[in-house]
């Protein structure tokens, strides 16, 4: 397995979180586990990495948080809102352009 550089993980973190939240609200540990599972264990986020991004997304107005009782303890859940859906659409367009360019570069090995 190759280790993914932290700069690439950081650059994609907002897009990943917003995408995950399209499936419904989620709490921090669950998000970490989903990312790990979806990346086949190649991306391992920590609390110290995740929560600043969640707070930034909340500050930007893309997500909202709420507390919910789960068994014997409360958990803070995060949920995508309309502004977050718009932001995700923009991220998808941007990542699509980058993805397409890289595929062209790698397929052609070199462009003149």
| Secondary structure string (H, E, C) spanning 69-91 | EECCEEEEEEEECHHHHHHHHHH
User: pLDDT tens digit string along 52-72?
Assistant: 999 999 999 999 999 999 888
In a domain, 1, yes or no: no
Count of domains observed in the chain = 1
Identify the domain containing residue 89 by its residue range: 6-108
Classify residue 71: in a domain, yes or no: yes
Measure the CA–CA gap between 63 and 21, rounded to whole angstroms.
Answer: 9
Residue at 76 is within a domain:
yes
- Mean pLDDT value of segment 2-12: 89
Q: Decide if pLDDT at 37 tops 90.
A: yes
Contact between 27 and 78 (Cβ < 8 Å): yes
Determine how many CB atoms are found less than 10 A away from the CB of residue 30: 14
Task: For residue 99, tell me if it sits in a domain.
Answer: yes
pTM, two decimals, is 0.90
CATH number at residue 86: 1.10.10.10
Taking the mean position of all CA atoms in its chain, how far away is CA 95? 13
């Amino acid at each position: 397995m190759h280790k993914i550089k932290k700069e690439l993980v950081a650059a994609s973190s907002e897009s990943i979180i917003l995408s995950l939240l399209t499936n419904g609200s989620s709490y921090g540990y669950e998000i970490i586990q989903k990312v790990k599972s979806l990346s086949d264990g190649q991306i391992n986020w920590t609390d110290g990495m995740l929560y600043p991004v969640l707070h930034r997304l909340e500050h930007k107005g893309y997500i909202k948080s709420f507390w919910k009782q789960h068994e014997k303890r409360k958990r803070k859940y995060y949920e995508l809102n309309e502004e977050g859906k718009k932001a995700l659409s923009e991220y998808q367009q941007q990542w699509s352009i980058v993805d397409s360019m890289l595929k062209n570069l790698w397929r052609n090995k070199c462009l003149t």
